[in-house]
Amino acid sequence: MNESNQSAYSIRKHTLEWRREHVTLRGIVTMPVTDHSVPAIIFGHGFTGHKAEANFMFKRLSDELAKRGYATVRFDFAGSGESDGEFVDMTVSTEVQDMLAVWDAVQVMEGINPKRVSLLGFSLGGVVSLLAAEQLGDELDRLMLLCPALGFQDILARDLQGEKLHHLLQHGCVELYGQKIGQGLFDDRAALRILDAAAQIHTPALIIHGTNDSVVPPYTTYRLHHFLSGSRLRWIDGADHVFGQSVHAVQLLEELIDFLQLETS
């Protein structure tokens, strides 16, 4: 990592709550200690994930980015982690609403530069971030997508066989991966227009994907890259879905820092 990327700030953390209609969302804000307003990055976790993410990926990224002068805001979508709501009620559309509610709160947060707020989404959170980015338009500073889960409905549907399929069709919900999932997640029309939404986004965007991702097929990211105007695509050779090896975690951080430090018109 070059000298300009070395840590410069001490950091402080505090928990916060945000309201989205009748739901309370809970998260952690990590701030660099400085007298100046700073850019901010809102994190969106993956399916069945939480604000720390697998292998504490979000926690580590959040701390390292804050040391380099970026406030980070990571929260649990409704029905996940410590936020209110039931997981069975979540859809991509409800998670987009959650992210936009947090966005609105961050815009008036003390110490944040409201003109330099970005989104970072992992896996299904990448899909959510992309759809939120379409709505935010020029208000969004940058968009960062880690292993975005295009085609996630088809990925989940692979496990809808036999009794699980019948249970979903008869009762409107089914248990997968230890969670009760509602049929609304499979029928949510917002998820069917991901590539159309990508074509409407002109915000500077970075997509990062591990070449050994066995959860989300890496080739889907290659397709997304061509719909997302001017996006940068970075492969991390040998990395799995959660960038689990330390060498891949370091590469991930370096790619994010390089992108955030790019000058834009």
- 116 is written with which tokens? 């330099």
Query: Please, which pLDDT band fits residue 155 given cuts at 50, 70 and 90?
Result: confident
pLDDT digits (tens, 9 = 90+) for 158-207: 888 899 899 999 999 999 888 899 999 988 877 778 999 999 999 999 99
Report the CATH architecture of 3-151+192-260: 3-Layer(aba) Sandwich (3.40)
pLDDT for 243 beyond 90: yes
Parallel, antiparallel, or unpaired: how do β-strands 112-122 and 143-146 relate? parallel
**Averaged pLDDT for residues 131-156:** 94
- The pTM of the full predicted model, rounded to 2 decimals, is 0.93
- Look at residue 32 and give its three-state secondary structure: strand
